[in-house]
Amino acid sequence: MSKEEVLAALTRQIGQEVQVGEWLTVTQDRIDRFAEATGDHQWIHVEPERARRESPFGDTVAHGYLTLSLVTHLLTPQPGEADPYRGCRLLVNYGLNKVRFPTPVKVNSRIRARRTLKAIEDVGPALQMLSVVTVDIEGQDKPACVAEALRRMYF
């Protein structure tokens, strides 16, 4: 598809939930590896026994930034799904406007991401998409993360 065709198609989707990802279990191993990569070894994340005794959450919880960093993975199309950006040669994360972490993700919880298209703009060689990304926690009313994400599609 050409840039103009993608722009027209996405313009029609503004205000709609355009993607719902698969569920992913957040394990202690994943939390520990994120702590190792970032140097954030706060006990509420990496000390299960202490977290069960002292944390208001009753167990270890994922780092908020771990949850945010998983958004790309959570929204990657699964094998066999249609490519929503056919014709795009490069898709990059451009930034975030707002990020909130309303509910902590307890270890072994399942999360998934949903994306609602808020705006699309032609910015020269690219299309810029503004989406609201919500990371749900299975069985919870409040989300783990809500972020306004900007991505650019280059053609």
Annotated domain spans of the chain: 3-154
If one compares 128 and 1, the residue with the highest pLDDT of the two is 128
The confidence score (pLDDT) of residue 87 equals 79
Cβ atoms of residues 74 and 113 within 8 Å:
yes
pTM to 2 decimals? 0.92
Nearest to 133 by CA among 112, 154, 152: 112
* DSSP assigned state of 18: E
Cβ atoms of residues 135 and 112 within 8 Å:
yes
Give the helix ranges, DSSP H, for 12-154. Answer: 28-38, 43-46, 48-54, 64-69, 71-74
Token pair for 35: 């702590």
6, containing H or E segment: helix 3-11
Indicate whether 56 pLDDT > 70. yes
- Average model confidence (pLDDT) for the chain? 94
Instruction: For the domain covering 3-154, report its CATH number.
Output: 3.10.129.10
Return the percentage of the chain with pLDDT > 70, whole number.
95
**Interior CA angle at 113 toward 20 and 39, to 5°?**
155
